[in-house]
Amino acid sequence: MEKALRHFFLLCFAFSLVFLSMGREVNARAHTRRHKRSNGAHYKKLFVFGDSYADTGNLGNLGNMLTTSWYEPYGMTFPHKPTGRFSNGRLLTDYVASFLGIRSPLPYKYRRLEVSKKLLPYGMNFARAGSGIFDNGNFQDNLTLQVDAFLWQVKAGVFPEYDLKSSVALVSVSGNDYKYYKETNGSDAGALDFANRLFQLLKSDLKRIQGAGVPKVLVTNLHPVGCTPYMTKVTNHTKCDSTALGEAQAHNQKLEILIKELNGASTKTFFSLDLFTSFNSIINQVKGAPKFESILKPCCDGNDNSSTCAQTDDNGMKKYSLCSNPDSHFYWDWLHPTQAAWAAVFEYLKPALRRFLSL
Window 145-164: residues binding ligand NAG (CB under 6 A): 145
Nearer to ligand NAG, 178 or 279 (CB): 178
Under rule CB under 6 A, residue 236 binds ligand NAG: yes
* Maximal C-alpha separation, the chain: 61
User: Residues near 253 by Cβ (< 8 Å), separated by ≥ 6?
Assistant: none
Residue from 71, 78, 110, 134 in contact with ligand NAG (CB under 6 A): 134
Nearer to ligand NAG, 43 or 230 (CB): 230
User: How many chain residues interact with ligand NAG (CB under 6 A)?
Assistant: 15
Closest chain position to ligand NAG (CB): 190
Under rule CB under 6 A, residue 38 binds ligand NAG: no
Q: Please tell me the distance from the alpha carbon of residue 4 to that of residue 116, in angstroms, as a whole number.
A: 33
Say if residue 326 is preceded by a cis peptide, omega within 30 of 0. no
Residue 242 per-residue DSSP state:
-
Residue 329 annotated as catalytic: no
Residue 301 annotated as catalytic: no
Residue from 4, 120, 151, 201 in contact with ligand NAG (CB under 6 A): 201
Under rule CB under 6 A, residue 142 binds ligand NAG: yes
Catalytic residue among 55, 94, 177, 333: 333
Under rule CB under 6 A, residue 304 binds ligand NAG: yes
Nearer to ligand NAG, 189 or 257 (CB): 189
Burial class of residue 328, CB neighbours in 10 A (0-12, 13-18, 19+) = middle
Mind giving me the DSSP string for 189-223? TTHHHHHHHHHHHHHHHHHHHHHTT-SEEEEE---
Burial class of residue 207, CB neighbours in 10 A (0-12, 13-18, 19+) = middle
Nearer to ligand NAG, 21 or 185 (CB): 185
Nearer to ligand NAG, 194 or 199 (CB): 194
Catalytic residue among 7, 16, 51, 52: 52
Asked if residue 278 lies in contact with residue 348, where contact means CB atoms within 8 angstroms, the answer is yes
Mind giving me the DSSP string for 317-337? -B-EEE-S-GGGBSBSSSS-B
Q: Can you name the residues that pair with 270 across neighbouring β-strands?
A: 217
Under rule CB under 6 A, residue 144 binds ligand NAG: yes
Q: Please tell me the distance from the alpha carbon of residue 273 to that of residue 350, in angstroms, as a whole number.
A: 10
Residue 237 annotated as catalytic: no
Residue from 135, 163, 183, 327 in contact with ligand NAG (CB under 6 A): 135
User: Residues near 273 by Cβ (< 8 Å), separated by ≥ 6?
Assistant: 170, 218, 219, 220, 221, 349, 353
Stretch of residues binding ligand NAG (CB under 6 A), selected from 62-70, 262-270, 301-309, 331-339: 301-309
Q: Please tell me the distance from the alpha carbon of residue 103 to that of residue 48, in angstroms, as a whole number.
A: 13
Under rule CB under 6 A, residue 78 binds ligand NAG: no
Catalytic residue among 237, 251, 329, 336: 336
Pattern 94-133, ligand NAG, x by CB under 6 A: ----------------------------------------
Q: Can you name the residues that pair with 302 across neighbouring β-strands?
A: 320
Residue from 305, 314, 317, 324 in contact with ligand NAG (CB under 6 A): 305
Q: Can you name the residues that pair with 321 across neighbouring β-strands?
A: 301
Q: Please tell me the distance from the alpha carbon of residue 90 to that of residue 31, in angstroms, as a whole number.
A: 18
Pattern 172-191, ligand NAG, x by CB under 6 A: ------------xx---xx-
Minimum distance of ligand NAG from residue 338's CB (angstroms)? 18
Which residues does the annotation mark as catalytic?
A: 52, 333, 336
Contact set with ligand NAG (CB under 6 A): 134-135, 142, 144-145, 184-185, 189-190, 194, 201, 236, 304-306
